[in-house]
Amino acid sequence: MSIEIGTSVMEFIAAQQLGHPQAKGRLTLVLANILAGCQFIHRQVNNAGLAGVLGATGGINVQGEEVQKLDVLARNTLVNHLIPCEGVAAISTEEDEGIILSTTPGNYLTVLDPLDGSSNIDVNVSVGTIFSILPCPQFDRKVQPQDFLQPGKNQIAAGYVIYGSGTMLVMTLGNGVHGFTLDTGSGLFLLSHPNIRFPRPSKYYSVNEGNRHSWDPVILRLIFELSRDRSARYIGSLVADFHRNLLAGGVFLYPPDSKSPKGKLRCLSELSTMAMIAEQAGGRSSNGRESTLNHMPTALHERAPFYVGPPDDIALIEARLAEMYQG
């Protein structure tokens, strides 16, 4: 599909949906509500230092992590936009232990990480909103948590909004990856980065090397091998690290360690989204054993190792990790 620079995201989505008449405009409506919420979050992030929304609330979320004030604001903003939205059957967020039912019938499930990297907001580091849309498998009964337990390959749409020097939406509807920059004058997300593809060869590797004392020796050797012809770049915000690698060329790794033997990042609210974007942009993703998109989660907040980047890098990583898993 050929689209012009400056096309609004809603025009783009509407054109894409013409090929899916069964959607009846509801997908456009769901995405419009997500993006309206993200525009509000954008304004709050930009004014956080003046609006008194920096810092922690003093609470702990279902993940056992300290809750930031902006976590709560972002979560409430998106949920309030989606609960009454026609087309949304239920919502799952990183901040909620269970699911949230909408007030209208719908054929879509939405999964959200309302503010990824929020612990960095106090020091003005880029943060982001991650979202995923899944089909609702049942229409004749109340949605159950297990309805969300679908492999990433089932996603209808996946994307993130990064709040940085500019605010940018990166999204796929299963037909390539496109980037839309928020024009603060008009309030519209406008196409700025059409048909994004992972640059090759990769220039960077991104991993938290502070965890090296907790890694398996195979992981240590793998990171050393990657560092021979790549520079290290690591921010500590999944959206920011992934975004840089997607545009500049790099591979992201979050391997298991002795503190998090099953991995740290969440399958549904983080990994499935990034995996779909990566593979639609000519990259690959893996949990070390299989494609992240093929993995069937067994719990809403299940975690897993994550490796994502150009295909050659992921093939190398899987080959090296085979030694660890076989041993």
Residue 164 three-state SS: coil
Are 175 and 219 members of one domain? no
Specify whether 163 is located in the same domain as 188: yes
Same domain (yes/no): 313, 255: yes
* Residue 310 confidence (pLDDT) above 60: yes
Q: Are 171 and 189 in contact (CB under 8 A)?
A: no
Supply the pTM of this predicted model. 0.94
SS3 content of the chain, % helix, strand, coil (to 5): 40, 25, 35
253 in the same domain as 212: yes
pLDDT at 21 over 70: no
Dihedral, 213, 218, 224, 225 alpha carbons, nearest 10:
-170
Question: Whole-angstrom Cα distance, residue 239 to residue 253?
Answer: 13
Residue 235 is predicted with a pLDDT of 96
Task: Examine the fold and report which residue of 153, 172, 193 is the final residue of a domain before the chain moves on.
Answer: 193
Indicate whether 129 and 258 sit together in one domain.
Answer: no
Token pair in block for residue 47:
């004014």
The answer to whether 229 and 313 have CB atoms below 8 angstroms apart is: no
Q: What is the pLDDT of residues 79-106, one digit of tens each?
A: 999 999 999 999 999 999 999 999 988 9
CATH number at residue 271: 3.40.190.80
| pLDDT at 23 > cutoff 60 | no
Would you state the pLDDT for residue 54?
67
Same domain? 180 vs 272? no
Would 4 be classed as within a structural domain? no
Residue 151 contacts by C-beta under 8 Å, 6 or more apart in sequence? 272, 293, 294, 295, 296, 297
> Residue type for 318, please?
E
Residue 140 and residue 233 in one domain: no
Q: Is the pLDDT of residue 2 over 80?
A: no
Answer for the pair 189, 12: CB distance below 8 angstroms, yes or no. no
Note whether 268 and 144 are same-domain residues. Answer: no
Q: Are residues 97 and 151 in the same domain?
A: yes
Q: Is the dihedral of CA 221, 233, 280, 295 positive or negative?
A: positive
The share of the chain scoring above pLDDT 70, in percent, equals 92
Q: Residue written as tokens 């996946």?
A: 158
| Mean pLDDT score, 182-206 | 97
Structural domains of the chain, count: 2
**pLDDT tens column, 249-280:** 999 999 999 999 999 999 999 999 999 999 99
Q: The domain that contains 171 carries what CATH number? A: 3.30.540.10
Do 144 and 234 share a domain, yes or no? Answer: no
Residue 199 included in any domain: no
Provide the Cα torsion 118, 119, 124, 129; round to 10°. Answer: -10
> Cβ distance 141 to 131 under 8 Å?
no
> Which residues form the domain of 29?
9-193
> Between the CA of residue 179 and those of 28, 44, 132, 228, 248, what are the distances in Å?
17, 22, 16, 31, 14
**pLDDT in the model for residue 168:** 99
Average pLDDT, the chain: 93
Query: Following CA atoms 29, 272, 161, 318 in sequence, which dihedral angle do they give, to the nearest 10 degrees?
Result: -150
Q: Could you read off the pLDDT of 136-190 as tens digits, one per residue?
A: 997 778 999 999 999 999 999 999 999 999 999 999 999 999 999 999 999 999 9
pLDDT over threshold 80, residue 108: yes
Amino acid found at 265:
L
198 domain-assigned: no
